[in-house]
Structure 1
Amino acid sequence: MLVDNLHEVQYNIKIACEKAGRKQEEVTLITVSKTKPISMIEQLYEVGIRKFGENKVQDLIDKYEAMQKDIEWHMIGHLQRNKVKYIVDKVAMIHSVDSLRLAEEISKEAVKKQLTVSILIEVNVAGEQTKFGYAIDETEEAVRLFSKLPGLRVKGLMTSAPYVVDPEENRKYFRSLRQLCVDINSKNIDNVCMDSLSMGMTNDYIVAIEEGATLVRVGTAIFGERNYNK
């Protein structure tokens, strides 16, 4: 069942890329394993999946310690500054950098451990009060500030679009973020390479791919519904 779900998502990605005139290699699937047991992650590992996303620091650490070391872990949830030190050497990328103070903390820990950490700047593209991230018109300034911090590599932007019944409603947000990414990239800011656009989840990843996503974060469509009461 799990592997069948994965194959269906991979097929949808292929079709979305074809529709958009893109190569399938341009889109990376981040399999969101939050709240799910290691046994399920192992099933996906056995069929070649190596990129997993987690929302919580402790869950990421536990799974990092238990799983094979060729897995790429992506921190996709809100990250508190006091927890940066625990994951900075365990993640391939932090998708959710939403403040200068957080970026400075990541920089400090990266320098301490002699690392270069790839980060994405979180953009609250729809201006939702319940979500973290920079407003569209604040993002370029944030990129310029982050780019000066040692131990960081600004790789692009990330957003969590509104939860909608019809994914077409989010197309305008994905298009807006893609344009912002292109605009910032055209400024040729030192230490900034805007080649990553993390947008699209189970509900709307197909539309996100059509609008230029390079990373899609899909969990429920693969693992099934989550039980947050566990």
Structure 2
Amino acid sequence: MYDQITQNVRRLLGEIPPYVTVVAAAKTRTPDEIRAAIDGGVSIIGENYVQEAARTKIELGNSDRLGAEATLHYIGHLQLNKVKKAVEIFDVIETVDTKRLADELNAQAKRINKVLPVLIEINIAGEPQKAGVMPDQLPELALYLDSLPNLRLQGLMTMGPRLEESGLRKYFAETKRLLGSIGQLGLPNSDLLYLSMGMSNSYRIAIEEGANLIRLGTAIFGERA
């Protein structure tokens, strides 16, 4: 399994453009599986759960694998009561979608004298059951984040609806357009560097539509047992 994961990562890195970075979506994966992904060349580990990430950081941090070789991105829905620990653990939060969450992240980052990079999660298809800011509310949230001294807005993230790959194209294209639109707001404290979209079943289309962060789980680790 270790060798297969390493080979999967090397193959993927050989296929995608050099400006695209892989986020290894490591939900429920073991430290050994994550080590294999890092050995293959992954430089970002994406976690959905704060407690799981804390255990991973302890195990891999003790061997200098996280920090020296890979950084941690939070890619799940972040509950307010988990923010304090998340700010301590993660290098980037990709799923900011409310002012209230932004305020708590900013306060906790200030507490430890940290400037925390964040992405806004956008609910691009307006699905009521999903997290993410609605597209029409994006400018207001982007302006608000830009005003918070301990957060640094760096782009957008979207999950996209559950559709076949070809059906996602218009949603990815719209997310890219929205990134451009907030770039026109004149945000002096933001660096709009990243468009995080596309997963194992959709990353090719996402890259074609402008993604430079892709979140891959099954394509790296295989199906869960």
TM-score by length of 1: 0.90
Select between 59-68 and 85-94 the one with higher mean Cα deviation.
85-94
Q: Does the Cα contact within 8 Å between 1:12 and 1:206 map onto a contact in 2?
A: no
Distance 1:31 1:89 in 2: 20
Task: For residue 4 of structure 1, report the CA deviation from its aligned partner.
Answer: 2.5
Is 2:22 the partner of 1:29?
Answer: yes
CA distance in 1, matches of 2:137, 2:181: 13
The answer to whether structure 1 residue 5 and structure 2 residue 3 are counterparts is no
What amino acid maps onto 2:165 in structure 1? P
Contact persistence 1:78–1:96 (CA under 8 A): yes
Give the deviation of 1:82 after TM superposition. 1.0
C-alpha contact (below 8 Å) 2:158/2:196 kept by paired residues: yes
Deviation of 1:185 after TM superposition, in Å, equals 0.6
Spell out the pairing of 1:163-182 with structure 2 (5 A cutoff).
163-164=162-163, 166-182=164-180
CA contact (8 A) 1:53 1:76 kept: yes
Alpha-carbon displacement from aligned partner over 1:13-48 (angstroms, at most 9, x marks no partner): 23xxxxxxxxx2x21110111111111111222233
Question: 1:98·1:132 contact (CA, 8 Å) conserved in 2?
Answer: yes
1:179 is paired with a residue of what secondary structure?
A: helix
Of residues 87-96 and 77-86 in structure 1, the stretch that sits farther from structure 2 once superposed is: 87-96
What are the residue-to-residue correspondences of 1:214-229 with 2, within 5 Å?
Answer: 214-226=212-224
Higher RCO structure, 1 or 2 (CA under 8 Å, sep 6+):
1
1:140 offset after TM fit, Å? 0.7
Matches within 5 A, 1:32-47: 32-47=25-40
1:192 alignment partner in structure 2? 190
Amino acid at match of 2:11: E
Give the secondary structure class of the aligned counterpart of 2:118: strand
Per-residue deviation, 1:170? 0.4
5+ unaligned residues in a row in structure 1: which ranges? 15-23
Q: Is the Cα–Cα contact under 8 Å of residues 147 and 154 in structure 1 kept in the other structure? A: yes
Q: How many residues align?
A: 216
Aligned Cα root-mean-square deviation (Å):
1.3
1:126 Cα deviation after fit: 0.7
Q: Counterpart in 2 of 1:114?
A: 113
Q: 1:144 offset after TM fit, Å? A: 0.6
How do 1:12-23 residues align onto structure 2 when only pairs under 5 Å count?
12-14=15-17
Alpha-carbon distance, 1:195 to partner: 1.5
Q: What letter is aligned with 1:7?
A: R
Q: Specify the code of the residue in structure 2 equivalent to 1:137.
A: D
Task: Give the secondary structure class of the aligned counterpart of 2:23.
Answer: strand
Q: Percent identity?
A: 38
